[in-house]
């Protein structure tokens, strides 16, 4: 870890202020607070990107080999995709919900080790296949995270409409069809990325890992994630299922993503650097 921890601390402080601004907007429909929160979040993204660049320069490669680096990159993906989606679709409250999740992950990351991977481990892992494999996996998890957020917003809006709780806040959620469509599009992005990541990971492991097995915990849970989201797409496209049941399926699938990110590595035989 380089001596730029102050940059990380500044980033998380501004992130907290941004989430607070979005929370005030959520409670009071305060557009001024929303605008301030958006610009704070933009600064957070710039600082996160700066932090990533400094780490790349410091270690001479892409910083994803430790739990701290992996979770930081995961959070950066969530912020980047949420800003991008907000730019094109302008879904009120989406950035608030997405970055509550991102802030929670970044806060959890405070407790992850900030030590660099050993030179021997870095040499073993820092190949093009492994870097692309890990990077694509985290981008897919970022897409699944946003898909989860849209499903949560769908369920909240669905319940508000069912209970006929009409207010300004309700209309700022958008409409059910838009939320379902955006959730679907995020899943469409995430599934092929995860599939390609798994293929590259298996190829790399066969070449570099002596004790590689498809029965490894991390591999099994990763395939469960892939199957869960593939079933989501199957239900949506082939069986034309939609609405509340599909949103609940998506929420359940994201629970498996969290298990894969935070727990399965501890039981893996060769993903030991994430345990």
DSSP-based three-state secondary structure for 113: coil
Distance CA 258, CA 265 (A): 11
Two structure tokens written together for 149: 């957020």
Q: Find out whether 49 and 26 touch, Cβ atoms under 8 Å.
A: no
What pLDDT sits at residue 148?
95
pLDDT in tens, 175-232: 889 999 999 999 999 999 999 999 988 887 777 666 767 777 888 899 999 999 999 9
Token pair of 41, please? 């979040």
Q: How many other CB atoms sit within 10 Å of the CB of residue 90?
A: 10
C-alpha dihedral, 47 to 128 to 141 to 188, nearest 10°? 120
State the first-to-last Cα distance of the chain, in angstroms, to the nearest integer.
18
| Predicted pLDDT at 111 | 67
Give Cα 246 to chain centroid, integer Å: 20
pLDDT of residue 247: 94
Low-confidence ranges of the chain (pLDDT < 50): 1-2, 117-122, 272-275
pLDDT for position 272: 46
What count of other Cβ atoms lies within 10 Å of the Cβ of residue 101?
18
- The HSE-up count of residue 79 (CA atoms within 13 Å, CB side) is 29
Query: What pLDDT score was predicted for residue 135?
Result: 86
3-state percent helix, strand, coil for the chain, nearest multiple of 5: 80, 0, 20
Task: Answer for the pair 114, 90: CB distance below 8 angstroms, yes or no.
Answer: no
Calculate helix-pair angle for 94-108, 128-162, nearest 10 degrees.
130
Q: How far apart are CA 183 and CA 145, in angstroms?
A: 10
CA 174 – CA 93 distance, rounded (Å):
9
């Amino acid at each position: 870890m380089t001596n730029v921890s102050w940059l990380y601390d500044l980033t998380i402080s501004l992130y907290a202020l941004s989430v607070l601004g979005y929370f005030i907007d959520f409670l009071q429909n305060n557009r001024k607070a929303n605008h301030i929160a958006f610009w704070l979040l933009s600064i957070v993204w710039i600082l996160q990107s700066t932090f990533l660049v400094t780490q790349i320069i410091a270690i001479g490669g892409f910083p994803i080999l430790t739990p701290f680096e992996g979770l930081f990159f995961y959070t950066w993906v969530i912020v980047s995709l949420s800003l991008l989606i907000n730019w094109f679709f302008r879904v009120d409250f989406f950035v608030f919900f997405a970055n509550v999740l991102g802030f929670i992950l970044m806060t959890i990351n405070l407790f992850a080790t900030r030590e660099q991977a050993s030179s021997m481990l870095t040499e073993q892992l820092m190949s093009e296949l492994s870097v692309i494999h890990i990077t694509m996996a985290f981008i897919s998890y970022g897409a699944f995270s946003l898909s989860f957020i849209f499903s949560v917003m769908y369920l909240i809006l669905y319940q508000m409409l069912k209970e006929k709780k009409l207010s300004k806040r309700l209309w700022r959620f958008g409409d059910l069809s838009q939320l379902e469509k955006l959730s679907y599009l995020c899943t469409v992005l995430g599934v092929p990325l995860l599939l390609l990541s798994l293929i590259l990971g298996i190829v790399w492991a066969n070449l570099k890992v002596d004790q590689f097995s498809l029965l490894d915990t991390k591999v099994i849970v990763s395939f469960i994630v892939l199957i869960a989201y593939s079933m989501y797409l199957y239900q949506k496209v082939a069986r034309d299922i939609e609405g509340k049941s599909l949103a609940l399926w998506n929420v359940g699938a994201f629970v498996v993503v969290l298990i894969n990110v935070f727990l399965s590595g501890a039981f893996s035989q060769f993903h030991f650097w994430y345990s």
